């Protein structure tokens, strides 16, 4: 029997951090960080996470609520905790150029690579590949539909015999359906209850996806005001600093 894997939710809110939630980010088994959100470093500390144990960071797309914690996390690794083990970063095409630009915009001289005792590796998400690898972790990338000016990806990460899916920001689309079909559990964004911009999931969309995948466990995140699981079967709305075993 496969042992359960802890998912630690460091934040479960949307870009506006509504209902007092932090921006969306979660940690898989203490090792795989999904989204370096703006508050990721203090939230990792508050949760008592071992920063040195994180060896892979996934970025779904380049919106600020998913990305702007990166400079502070890297600063900690370079001059705070003095990281020794290599760090892998998975993100959309151009991630190796975009992240240094973000560092430069912050004007932190301490972020010079010469100060670190580790290597930083970048892997670009590629939906054409049946499998990708970052360090010892295998994963699949799925292009999803969010906004027209950015490439956005969801991922299925293989860990501990489980396939953990994460939607990133998306509306209901074929890429999301392919991702759900490849996952054993799906961490799924749900930005609003009804209506709103056609770039995010609504509860109505979640109900549609639930009908197509009736037994796949959903964990909802990137939640807007008043959004919950609404009594949907096999569906849970995550809360900040909650640990959910899957």
Which pLDDT score is estimated for 115? 55
Question: Distance between CA atoms of 233 and 161, rounded to whole angstroms?
Answer: 24
pLDDT at 113 over 80: no
The confidence score (pLDDT) of residue 158 equals 98
How many Cα neighbours within 13 Å face the side chain of 104? 5
Mean local confidence (pLDDT), 60-66: 97
State pLDDT tens for residues 125-161: 999 999 999 999 999 999 999 999 999 999 999 999 9
Residue 109 has pLDDT above 70, yes or no: no
pLDDT of 114 > 80? The answer is no
Instruction: Report strand pairing: 25-28 vs 32-34.
Output: antiparallel
Per-residue pLDDT band for 80 (boundaries 50, 70, 90) equals confident
pLDDT above 60: residue 243: yes
Closest CA to 123 of 158, 99, 149: 99
Stretch 179-187: mean pLDDT: 98
Neighbours of 114 (CB within 10 A): 5
For residues 24 and 54, the answer to whether their CB atoms sit within 8 Å is no
Element (H, E) at 138: strand 137-144
Kindly give, in sequence order, each residue whose CB lies less than 8 Å from that of residue 108, ignoring residues fewer than 6 positions away: 71, 75
Instruction: Please tell me the distance from the alpha carbon of residue 25 to that of residue 36, in angstroms, as a whole number.
Output: 7
8 A C-beta contact, residue 34 and residue 26? yes
Q: Check residue 111 and give its pLDDT.
A: 60
**Structural domains of the chain sorted by starting position, each given as residue range(s) with its CATH number in brackets:** 6-238 (3.60.15.10)
| pLDDT, average across residues 121-128 | 97
The model's pTM is: 0.95
- Report the pLDDT value the prediction gives residue 81, as an integer from 0 to 100: 77
């Amino acid at each position: 029997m496969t042992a359960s894997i802890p998912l630690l939710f460091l934040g479960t809110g949307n870009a506006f951090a509504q209902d007092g939630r932090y921006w969306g980010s979660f940690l898989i088994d203490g090792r795989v960080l999904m989204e370096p959100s703006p508050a990721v470093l203090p939230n990792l500390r508050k949760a008592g996470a071992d920063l040195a144990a994180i060896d892979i960071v996934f970025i779904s797309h380049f919106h600020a609520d998913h990305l702007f914690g990166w400079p502070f996390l890297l600063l900690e690794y370079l001059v705070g905790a003095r990281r020794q083990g290599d760090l892998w970063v998975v993100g959309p095409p151009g991630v190796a150029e975009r992240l240094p630009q973000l560092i430069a915009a912050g004007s932190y001289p301490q972020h010079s690579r010469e100060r670190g005792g580790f290597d930083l590796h970048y892997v670009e998400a590629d939906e054409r590949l049946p499998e990708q690898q970052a360090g010892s972790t295998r994963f699949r990338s799925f292009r999803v539909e969010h906004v027209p000016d950015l490439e956005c990806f969801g991922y299925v990460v293989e860990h501990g015999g489980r396939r953990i899916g994460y939607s990133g920001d998306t509306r209901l689309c074929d890429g999301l359906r392919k991702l759900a079909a490849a996952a054993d559990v799906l961490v799924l964004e749900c930005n609003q209850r009804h209506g709103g911009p056609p770039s995010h999931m609504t509860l109505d969309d979640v109900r549609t996806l639930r009908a197509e995948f009736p037994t796949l466990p959903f964990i909802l995140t990137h939640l807007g005001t008043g959004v919950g699981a609404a009594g949907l079967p096999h569906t849970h709305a995550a809360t900040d600093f909650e640990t959910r075993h899957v």
